[in-house]
Chains A and B, each alone.
Chain A
Amino acid sequence: MSPAYALKRCGLIVYTLLVVSLIVFAITQVLPADAATMLLGENATAEALAAVRERLGLEAPVWLQYARWLGGVVQGDFGTSLRTGLPVAPLMMEALGRSLLLALLSILLMLAIAVPLGVIAAVRRGRAADLIVSVLSYVGVSLPEFVTATVFVLVLADWLQILPASGYVAPTQDPLRALQHLALPVLTVSVILVAHVSRMVRSELVDVLHSDYVRAARLKGMKPRTVLLRHGLRNALLPTITIVALDVGYLLGGVIVVEEIFAIPGIGRQLIVAIQARDLPAIQAGALIMAATYSVANFAADLAYAWLDKRIQYD
């Protein structure tokens, strides 16, 4: 990847965040009730409302409010929460850390399941194993997270009682219990990703196994296992990186639901709480941080792709 291209990509991330900040600010700013009414309630006197508006800078024209807000955001200051009165940024970053742990574990579990499934389906193409994997993946992509989550709770926490149904323990506090509490959320988030990625691995691998260089390797008398792993899987996994990065969008959406269900104090749950309480600075911060995470993940995937596959030259 040429430095010029990397620079252009960074510029695009900045543009993306600028557009997202505009959208988020516009959506939250045209809310029927303004921040002052939300702070003081419907019955506040006109004088009190005016005083709060003055303090929050709500009397200024909208573009000026946006400029002030953006100026703060650039310096890492997302404003003060209307709900708690505390600065939003530290709270959100802490929550983001918990969500990233959940997301990372989910991606690891997903890869550990999806890649072998995809390989089995590709190698046994058209046979029973392929059909089973294909049916499973159709079911997997067709169940919303809240359904899989509830079914997992019903079976693993309610009936078998091997895992806790909800709650969160910090890994620094008690790593084992933290993992137990994360198990169901991670399982839930992984389901859709496993279904999607195993199908991708299968179709990529089927294509690769039909290529000339795989045939050449076979004719050379290499062991089928070596051909599959060295020539087949290695090339089939490359496009999968891009798919995983694009799936980060679904992953973040899934994280919102899963955190809400399992009461994990991550960024998704913070966002839902903020939306329900109409806590504008918190909503703006949460949405912007999520979009930034998505953009950075895709950039990282492009970098990894170019680094792993020397044939790819971005320019």
Chain B
Amino acid sequence: MTDLISRLARTPQGAAGLALVGLVLLVVVFGPLLAPYDPEAMAPLLRYKGPSLVHLLGTDQYGRDILSRLLVGARATVVMAVLATLLGTLVGALLGTASAFLGGRADEAIMRTVDAVMSIPSLLFALLIVNLLGKSGLNALLAIGIAFAPGMARVARSVALAVRKQDYVNAAIARGEGGFHIVVREMLPNVVAPIIVETTIRVAFAVMLFATLSFLGLGAQPPAPEWGLMVAEARKYLNLSPWMLIWPSIAIAIVAIGFNLLGDGLRDALNPRT
């Protein structure tokens, strides 16, 4: 693990990604403690303020402190996105590995169906599922998880197929190892790496998708300090204070850039050939 992190820190993307994601995780864990104000506290006399020493990032249409809302809202945005991605990864990896394991016609049928499902754009799929389940943050999480599963299934299957053909798997079979040993000790460690890379990059996408759902009014509901929702509300007051729009946009971008960089860095670090 320490070896991996030091390899990761050696590439520029990996180092930058580690730093950004580390910062985001700190905010997720300690955000509410660091928030200088109550994120829901309204101050009618201090509305639409720009950045100042009192309110570092300014205030919104109700005079609420934007920094506090961002710090507290990190959980609503980032944790949900990570959980949604993990859900999609779990379902997809199971489906993909099962497909590769079954092989033959079953594999063909499963993958053709996965391809078919992937022809529905993720956002549209998520919209349909949220529409079915009702609008809420939790349902948006489920929707994104389900929408991600086919893509993850594709990745998991292709990796599992490639791994099964490797010499070290054949060598293990020739040594007379049991099936369980081969799957757990020989195949799994090599299947996991590409899936981790894909999952990391997908978190960035999930953050954006989650914020988009909230923006369209189908994810987190007001007055939650969810970042996409903050952008949606800020649009109505563009003329009064552009800061309300700029800060949550930057926050979303930082998280997405961080996970994108980390994913690319991990790809290099986990690839034993480089």
List residues of A whose CB falls within 8 A of some B CB.
Answer: 12, 15-20, 23-24, 27-28, 30-32, 138-139, 141-147, 150-151, 153-154, 158, 249-250, 252-253, 256-257, 260, 271-272, 275, 278, 283, 287, 290-291, 294-295, 298
Contact = CB atoms under 8 A, between A and B. Distances in A.
Contact of B127 (A151, A250, A271, A291): A271
Contacts of A17: 116
A249 B118 contact: yes
A150 B234 CA distance: 9
A30 B124 CA distance: 17
Interface stretch (B3-11, B85-93, B208-216): B208-216
B128 interface: yes
B117 A253 contact: no
B120 A143 contact: no
A253 B123 contact: yes
Contacts of B128: 24, 27-28, 275, 283, 287
A142 B263 CA distance: 13
A245 B13 CA distance: 27
B122 interface: yes
17 contacts: A20-B117, A20-B119, A24-B120, A32-B134, A142-B260, A143-B249, A144-B228, A144-B252, A146-B211, A146-B212, A150-B235, A253-B123, A275-B131, A278-B131, A287-B120, A290-B124, A295-B119
Secondary structure at the B interface, as helix, strand, loop or mixed, is helix
A141 B132 contact: no
B257 interface: yes
A20 B116 contact: yes
B56 interface: no
B102 interface: no
B88 to A, nearest CB: 15
Given A15-B116, A154-B245, A257-B123, A146 B129 contact: no
B153 interface: no
B231 A253 contact: no
Task: In the A-B complex, list the 10 residue pairs whose CB atoms are closest, starting with the nearest.
Answer: A142-B256, A253-B123, A19-B116, A16-B116, A253-B121, A144-B208, A142-B257, A291-B119, A147-B249, A294-B119
A146 B215 contact: yes
A30 B122 contact: no
Given A138-B257, A143-B256, A146-B228, A290 B120 contact: yes
A315 B109 CA distance: 19
Given A154-B245, A249-B118, A249-B122, A257 B238 contact: no
Contacts of B252: 142-144, 147
B120 A146 contact: no
B50 to A, nearest CB: 15
A146 B207 CA distance: 13
B117 A150 contact: no
A257 B235 contact: no
Nearest to B151: A249
Contacts of A139: 253, 257
A144 B119 contact: no
Contacts of A298: 119
Nearest to B204: A142
Contact of A144 (B116, B117, B212, B260): B212
Contacts of B249: 143, 147, 150-151
